[in-house]
C-alpha cells in the first residue's frame, strides 16, 4: 500500500547545516539560520525527499509514513 503522505522532520540538535538536503530537494527544504527546515511537515511522497534524508551526513532528517509511522528514510 502506498502512503498518501509522509511526515518530514529535522532534528535541529543534529543538523550541521550542510545544505545537501536543500540542494537535493529545494522545494522541500530550506536553510534557516544555518539549519535545515522542512518547507512543510507533511508532504506527498517524493523520491527527492527520501534522497535528501538518505544523503544527510548526520542523519538529522527523518521521513515517516503519516498513517503508520513507518520509517521511510533514512534507509534503516
Which pLDDT tens digit goes with each residue over 5-61?
Answer: 999 999 999 999 999 999 999 999 999 999 999 999 999 999 999 999 999 999 999
- CA-CA distance, 72 to 49, in Å (whole number)? 10
- Helix, strand, coil percentages (3-state) for the chain, rounded to 5, are 20, 30, 50
Domain count, the chain: 1
Could you tell me if residue 74 is inside a domain? no
Could you tell me if residue 1 is inside a domain? no
Residue 14 vs residue 76, higher pLDDT: 14
Give the predicted TM-score (pTM) of the model.
Answer: 0.92
Could you tell me if residue 16 is inside a domain? yes
Could you tell me if residue 21 is inside a domain? yes
Residue 22: count other Cβ atoms within 10 Å of its Cβ. 18
Could you tell me if residue 45 is inside a domain? yes
Domain that holds residue 41: 6-66
Model confidence band, residue 3 (pLDDT cutoffs 50, 70, 90): confident
Give me the CATH number covering residue 15: 3.30.70.20
Could you tell me if residue 71 is inside a domain? no
Amino acid at each position: 500500500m502506498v502512503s498518501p503522505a509522509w511526515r518530514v522532520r529535522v532534528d535541529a540538535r543534529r543538523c550541521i547545516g550542510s545544505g545537501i538536503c536543500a540542494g537535493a530537494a529545494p522545494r522541500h527544504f530550506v536553510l534557516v539560520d544555518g539549519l535545515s527546515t522542512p518547507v512543510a511537515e507533511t508532504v506527498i511522497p517524493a523520491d527527492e525527499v527520501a534522497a535528501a534524508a538518505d544523503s544527510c551526513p548526520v542523519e538529522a532528517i527523518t521521513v515517516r509514513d503519516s498513517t503508520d509511522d513507518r520509517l521511510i528514510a533514512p534507509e534503516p
